[in-house]
Amino acid sequence: MEKQLKHESPAQSLYNEPYRPHIHFTPESQWMNDPNGMVYYEGEYHLFYQYHPHGKTWGPMHWGHAVSVDMYQWKHLPVAMEPDSLGMIFSGSAVVDWHDTTGFFNGSHGLVALYTSADGDFQQQSIAFSKDKGRTWHKYEGNPVIPNPGIKDFRDPKVFWHEASEKWIMVLAAGQEVMFYRSSDLKRWEYTSKFGEHQGAHGGVWECPDLFQLPVANSDKTKWVLEIDVQAGAAAGGSGGQYFIGQFDGKGFVNEASEKNVLWVDYGKDFYAAQSFSDMPDSRRVWLAWMSNWQYANEVPTHPWRSAMSLPREVSLTEGEDGKIKLLQRPASEINGLINKEFINSTVQLSHEEKSICLQPDAPFSLTFNMKTDDLSRVAFSFYNSGVTNSCDLVIDKEAGEITFNREKMKMSHFHKDFPAKTSAPFDTEKEYLKIEAIVDRGSVEVFINDGEQTLTNLVLPEGESFTISGASNNGDLEVDCKGHSFISIWK
C-alpha cells in the first residue's frame, strides 16, 4: 500500500526532526546508503536504495523503495527486496525490458532489476522482475546470472540497452577496475573487456559505476561518460566520485583524457555512489548521489533516520576554449515547482568588515551570488551565522583559483575527527563573472559554481533557530548581485 509523505502535526516530530532535509529524499527511519535501480516507467520515477530496516546503522541490506512524478516529492513504498539464500541485496540498477527480451512479460514489458547478491565477501550478480510497476518483485530462479569468478569486490551492476550493438551492456565494479559484459536477454552474459588499470584515482576500491552517452553542447560531437566512485582517497578525503570521458563501442571503453588526470565529480565530502535514471521520458540525463562519506557515515548524529540523497542533477557536456570537454551539473529543472518566496533580489556592497546581507530564511532555500571576477581578491560568505562560533563559510580566493567550503566552526561538526573539514574546488579566474549558487537545506549545502562547472556538496549540522547570511571582501568595495528564494517542503 502506498503511503503519501506528509508533514506531521506539531505534536508529532516525523519529518521535522533536527537536520531533517526538506527538499532531499530521506527514509522515514533507519539507515540508507547508495541509490539503486533508478528508472522511469509509466509516469513514475523509481528510487530504490540500500536500506537496513531493522537498525540505525549499517546492517543486512535490503532495497528500500520510493516513487515520484518529479524526482523531488516522493512516496514511500514497502521494502522491494529482502535478503535470501544467496545473501544480502547489494547495489544495482533497473531497466525497462520494452521488448520482453527476458521472456518474463508474455510479450509485453516490465521492470527488471540487476543487483549484487552478497554472502559475506562472496558477491555475485542476480536479477529480479516486476509485472506491476515495481510493487512486487520475483527473483529469477536461475540466479546468479553472473557467478563470482574469484574476485572479492565484484558488485554494483549498471545495465543499459546499447542501440548500436542491440545488446544489453553491464558495467560492473571489480576491485580497482570495472568489467564489461553484454547480453541479449539479461540472463546469459558474455564478458567483453575491463578498464581501470593506471587510470584515474585508486585510493580505494571502485564502486557504483555508471556509463552513458551525451551530446557535447553546441557541437555535433557525442561522448561517453564513465562515472566510478572510489571508496577512499577522493578529492576531499574519504569516499567520492570520479569520471572519464571517451568512447564505448559496445565491448570496451577508451578514455580520451590523460590517464593520470583525475576528473572529480564533486569536490565536497558528501557526494557518493551517483547513479542516473534509466529510460528517462526525455533526452536528459539526471543522476543523484548518497549524501555522506564512509569516513563517518555510521556516526552522523541524526535520528530516527540516517543519510539523505543529493538533489537530482541534470548532467551535460560542454567544450571549453582549450578544447577540453567537461561535465556540468545543475539541479533538475523540476525544482522550480518547489519555489516559494523571493527573499532577496538586490546588489550588495561588501567591504573589509563583515556585513549582514539578509536574514537567513528557514531552510530550504537557494541563494545566487554574481560578481565581476576582476574585482575579486578574497571574499567570504557565511551561512547559519548566529553571531557565535557556529557559521559555515564559503570563501573565494582568486589568487589560489579556489572556492572553499568550511564547516569547521559549526559546533556539531566535531562528532567525528574527519567531519570538521575544509573542502575546495577550482574555478575559472579568466571568466568575466563568477556565479555561485548555494542550495541550502536543514542538513546540507550544495554549491554550484558557474552553472555547474564544479560543485561542492557538504553536510552541515546547524545549531540555533535564527541566522543571518553575511559577507566580507578584503579588496575594498565589492558589488555582489544577490538573488534568493525559499522552497516549499516536500513533506508538506
Poorest-pLDDT segment among 210-214, 222-226, 321-325, 466-470: 321-325
Catalytic residue selected from 34, 97, 270, 441: 34
Residue 354 has pLDDT above 60, yes or no: yes
Q: Which segment of 52-61, 182-191, 240-249, 367-376 scores lowest on mean pLDDT? A: 52-61
Is 12's pLDDT higher than 60? Answer: no
Q: Which of 48-62, 179-193, 427-441 has the lowest mean pLDDT?
A: 48-62
Q: What CA–CA distance (Å, rounded) separates 347 from 375?
A: 15
* Secondary structure, 3-state, 170-182: EEEEECCEEEEEE
Residue 2 pLDDT grade (very low, low, confident, very high; cuts 50, 70, 90): very low
Query: Is 270 in contact with 457 (CB distance < 8 Å)?
Result: yes
φ/ψ of 348, rounded to 5, equals -110, 140
Please check whether residue 391 is in contact with residue 375, taking contact to mean a CB–CB distance below 8 angstroms: no
Q: Is the pLDDT confidence value at 390 over 90?
A: no
Owner of C-alpha cell 522491494: 80
Confidence (pLDDT) at 5: 42
Residue 355, number of CB atoms within 10 A of its CB: 14
Inter-residue contact 109 to 100 (CB < 8 Å): yes
pLDDT tens-place string over residues 233-269: 999 999 999 999 999 999 999 999 888 899 999 999 9
Distance CA 169, CA 228 (A): 16
pLDDT band, residue 314 (cuts 50/70/90): very high
**pLDDT the model gives residue 45:** 98
Residue 454: strand, helix, or coil: strand
Kind and range of the H or E run holding 114: strand 110-119
The confidence score (pLDDT) of residue 55 equals 63
- The pLDDT assigned to 320 comes to 86
Q: What grid cell was written down for 293? A: 562519506
Residue 104's Cβ-side half-sphere holds a number of Cα atoms within 13 Å equal to: 25
Share of the chain above pLDDT 70, in %: 96
The DSSP H or E segment spanning 305 is strand 305-306
Residue-wise pLDDT for 124-146, tens only, equals 999 999 999 999 999 999 999 99
pLDDT of residue 464: 83
Among 18, 19, 16, 14, which residue's Cα sits nearest to residue 29? 14
Name the residue among 287, 195, 194, 272 with its Cα closest to residue 233.
272
Q: Would you say 277 and 45 are in contact if contact means Cβ atoms under 8 Å apart?
A: yes
Residues 6+ apart with CB under 8 A from 181: 146, 169, 170, 172, 189, 190, 191, 192
Q: What share of the chain is helix, strand, coil (3-state, %, to 5)?
A: 5, 50, 45
441 is catalytic: no
Q: Give the per-residue pLDDT at 388.
A: 62
**What are 391-423's pLDDT values in tens digits?**
899 999 999 999 999 999 888 889 999 999 999
Q: Which residues of 231-240 are buried (b: 16+ CB within 10 A; e: fewer)?
A: bbebbbebbb
DSSP annotation of 60 reads S
What pLDDT is attached to residue 258?
Answer: 86
pTM score, two decimals? 0.95
For residue 59, the 8-state DSSP code is -
SS3 at position 195: strand
* CA 188-193-198 angle, 5° bins: 145
* pLDDT tens digits for range 56-115: 566 799 999 999 999 999 999 999 999 999 999 999 999 999 999 999 999 999 999 999
Res. 1: pLDDT tops 50:
no
Q: Please give the pLDDT value at position 277.
A: 98
Q: Which residue has the cell 571574499?
A: 379
Name the pLDDT band for 308 (thresholds 50, 70, 90): very high
All three cell numbers of 209, joined, read 559505476
Q: How far is CA 15 from CA 21, 27, 161, 253, 442, in A?
A: 8, 10, 38, 43, 11
Q: Is the peptide bond before 364 cis (omega within 30 degrees of 0)?
A: yes
**Minimal CA–CA distance to 204: which of 240, 237, 244, 233?**
233
